[in-house]
Amino acid sequence: MVDGPADGADTDTDTGAGTGTGAGTGTGTGTGTRERTPTRVTLRSDLRASTVDGLIALIVTGAVFALLYARIRSRASSTATVMPFMADDPGGFWMYFLSQAFGWSALLWAWGTVVLGLLLSGARPAWLRIPAPRLERLHRTTSLNTIALIVAHALFFAAELINHDTDSWYGSTWTAFVESFVPGGYASGTGRIAIPVGQAALYLAIPLGLLFYVRHRIGARAWRVMHRFVIVVYVLSVWHTLLYGTNVWYDGWFRTSVWLLQLPIAALFLARLLRPARRSQRLAAPGAHPGSKAGWSLRLTGRLLAAGTLAVLLAVLITGRDGGRAEPPADTSSTHNHD
């Protein structure tokens, strides 16, 4: 568990259930009484609190890298089938495999932070004994680390592009920057869609995650409304992975597992919509709904979409049809691009 120095009694919450007030840390007076000075959770205090979680993420990334590298060397990895030139020279492409490893830890951390967020904003299960402030802090630190992991994933991809570019250093750096970070800059194969989808996830994650730290300026309500859309970041991340990850390129148990990992999220999301922690977010009968008709329709649509997603995931589980490619592409010999 991560313990930040400035937020020991933090009640400032991003759950939709909190007050958005900030809280206090005790300061000893030497007389046995403790004064409580209000402090606000800041980006700096949360960054400090993120260290342990960040170290664990790095260890996980290292382990995934070792596994991916070993699988490339033995040609067991499907990346080796999609891009055989990488398996011919694994050492020359280590940054690519490290980028893949950061991609997986980013996805795992995104999964964790979404689960925590949904546990906080929906009705919390009785068996979950961890106090809400701790869950909230963990939710914030895992969110910050998710953003860092995505950035590392994209940076190592860009570094790999530079590494294999024969242009001048500034020419290759510029090309790598455009291909990795500018929507539409990557102009070949599935990457034309998959890369902008990943970029959209990153560029949405930054404001939707970090606006929390300026909610006193924009208003707690405005922040809460915007933060709700963070689920879109997660959906884009999963879409990007299933579309472009060469380790989940083909049909098979690993790709199916990535789908199945989404079952708890879909179930929690549906539960959160059906039984939100905030009374005002409950769906009353059309006539009894306190807000506008459009708001009521939006809430109903959200619930139907969540139920539909759950049904699709169950269908993947039952049929085993995970949308993977059945055959290796005819020509896999060219560049870093894969179609």
* List of residues contacting ligand HEM (CB under 6 A): 79, 100, 103-104, 106-107, 110, 150, 153-154, 157, 180-181, 195, 198-199, 201-202, 237, 240-241, 244-248
Measured from the CB atom, the residue of 54 and 198 that comes closer to ligand HEM is 198
Measured from the CB atom, the residue of 215 and 240 that comes closer to ligand HEM is 240
Measured from the CB atom, the residue of 157 and 296 that comes closer to ligand HEM is 157
Give dist(CA 160, CA 334) in Å, integer: 16
Give dist(CA 215, CA 157) in Å, integer: 33
- The DSSP-derived string for 177-242 is HHHHHSTT---STTHHHHHHHHHHHHHHHHHHHHGGGGHHHH-HHHHHHHHTTHHHHHHHHHHHHH
Minimum distance, C-beta of residue 171 to ligand HEM, in the bound complex (Å)? 19
Measured from the CB atom, the residue of 140 and 299 that comes closer to ligand HEM is 140
| Contact of 246 with 82, CB cutoff 8 Å | yes
Residue 326 CB neighbours (<10 A): 6
Minimum distance, C-beta of residue 288 to ligand HEM, in the bound complex (Å)? 40
Minimum distance, C-beta of residue 314 to ligand HEM, in the bound complex (Å)? 23
Minimum distance, C-beta of residue 148 to ligand HEM, in the bound complex (Å)? 11
**Residue 66 CB partners (closer than 8 Å, separation 6+):** none
- The DSSP-derived string for 108-150 is HHHHHHHHHHHHHHBPPPTT--S-HHHHHHHHHHHHHHHHHHH
Measured from the CB atom, the residue of 24 and 189 that comes closer to ligand HEM is 189
Minimum distance, C-beta of residue 155 to ligand HEM, in the bound complex (Å)? 9
Minimum distance, C-beta of residue 64 to ligand HEM, in the bound complex (Å)? 8
Longest dimension (CA), the chain: 78
Measured from the CB atom, the residue of 226 and 243 that comes closer to ligand HEM is 243
